[in-house]
């Protein structure tokens, strides 16, 4: 899949301009929506963004229309903009995520926090392809969108993950993981730090803790035949 083929549905959820609610009565949704659209077009010109009508209440026809658009897209972005007393906008957001296309649930901090939280708290423990992102500026959002696009580009491709055969335990990195609790550990569990010191000095240390995210590449150590079989299936 190339970038020119990628289609992403862009959905905005929030309160009508002249309804009382957050951020305030008369808030200009269109100004923010325009800035978001311009950001997408300027920074991702090769992506086809389908800009859909804003959801301000649970309009069945509009919700179904947006659902069909999301289903025909490779992914979706749900921007939450403000909130008011209508629970329908939350329900619509939940149903869009439940389609289970890759979704970025996006919220600019202090814009649609309540709607964002309501949608995500409902679906967070379910096996759905959603990435919640509350951010202070669009530059932070762009970084996450770049990752999503890269993932979409490798869909349907086989990926080989490998690592060097040499294993070296990074004890400094291990200790960094405990930094937030180091004072309490030193006070309440001094034997733990003593044990780490002893282990780090051992020449024949067999236990390995992955601190760089490549541990899955070491599965072949436990089952070399399975590793060979996987390689054969990958490249045949």
Query: Is residue 106 within 8 Å of 77, Cβ to Cβ?
Result: yes
Domain boundaries, the chain: 3-153, 171-235
Q: Is 12 helix (H, G, I), strand (E, B) or coil?
A: strand
At 96, the pLDDT band (50, 70, 90 cuts) reads very high
At 221, the pLDDT band (50, 70, 90 cuts) reads low
> On the CB side of 129, how many CA atoms lie within 13 Å of its CA?
12
CATH number of 3-153: 3.40.50.9100
Supply the pLDDT for residue 3. Answer: 45
Q: Is the pLDDT of residue 139 over 90?
A: no
Give the separation between CA 119 and CA 112, rounded to whole angstroms: 11
R_g (Cα) of the chain, nearest Å: 24
Q: Is the pLDDT of residue 215 over 60?
A: no
58, burial (CB in 10 Å: exposed 0-12, middle 13-18, buried 19+): middle
**pLDDT tens-digit map of 6-33:** 999 999 999 999 988 888 898 889 999 9
Mean pLDDT, range 213-227, rounded to an integer: 58
Between residues 156 and 62, which one has the greater pLDDT?
62
Percent of the chain with pLDDT over 70: 78
Supply the pLDDT for residue 207. Answer: 54
Between residues 164 and 223, which one has the greater pLDDT?
223
**pLDDT tens-digit map of 185-203:** 888 888 877 777 777 676 6
Q: Structure tokens of 71?
A: 């289903």
Angle at 55 between CA 108 and CA 65, to 5 degrees: 125
Q: Is the pLDDT of residue 177 over 80?
A: no
What residues contact residue 163 under an 8 Å CB cut-off, 6+ apart? Answer: 214, 217, 218
| E-only strand ranges, the chain | 7-14, 48-51, 75-81, 103-108, 130-135
Supply the pLDDT for residue 82. Answer: 85
Between residues 148 and 180, which one has the greater pLDDT?
148
At 214, the pLDDT band (50, 70, 90 cuts) reads very low
Mean pLDDT, range 146-163, rounded to an integer: 79
Supply the pLDDT for residue 60. Answer: 96
């Amino acid at each position: 899949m190339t970038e020119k083929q990628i289609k992403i549905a862009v959905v905005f959820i929030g309160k009508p301009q002249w309804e009382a609610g957050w951020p305030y009565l008369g808030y200009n949704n269109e100004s923010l929506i325009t800035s978001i659209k311009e950001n997408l077009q300027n920074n991702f010109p090769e992506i086809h963004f389908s800009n859909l009508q804003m959801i301000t209440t649970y309009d069945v026809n509009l919700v179904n229309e947006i659902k069909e658009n999301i289903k025909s897209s490779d992914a979706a972005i749900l921007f939450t903009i403000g909130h008011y007393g209508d629970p329908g906008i939350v329900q619509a957001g939940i149903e869009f995520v439940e389609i289970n296309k890759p979704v970025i649930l996006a919220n600019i901090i202090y814009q649609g926090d309540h709607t964002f939280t309501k949608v995500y708290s409902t679906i967070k423990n379910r096996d759905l392809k959603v990435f919640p992102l509350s951010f202070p500026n669009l530059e932070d959002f762009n970084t996450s969108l770049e990752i999503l696009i890269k993932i979409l580009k490798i869909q349907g491709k086989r990926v080989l993950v490998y690592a060097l055969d040499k294993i070296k335990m990074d004890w400094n990195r291990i200790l960094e993981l405990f930094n937030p609790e180091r004072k309490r550990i030193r006070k309440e569990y001094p034997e733990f730090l003593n044990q780490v010191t002893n282990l780090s000095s051992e020449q024949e240390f067999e236990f390995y803790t992955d601190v760089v995210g490549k541990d899955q590449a070491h599965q072949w150590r436990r089952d070399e035949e399975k590793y060979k079989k996987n390689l054969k299936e990958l490249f045949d």
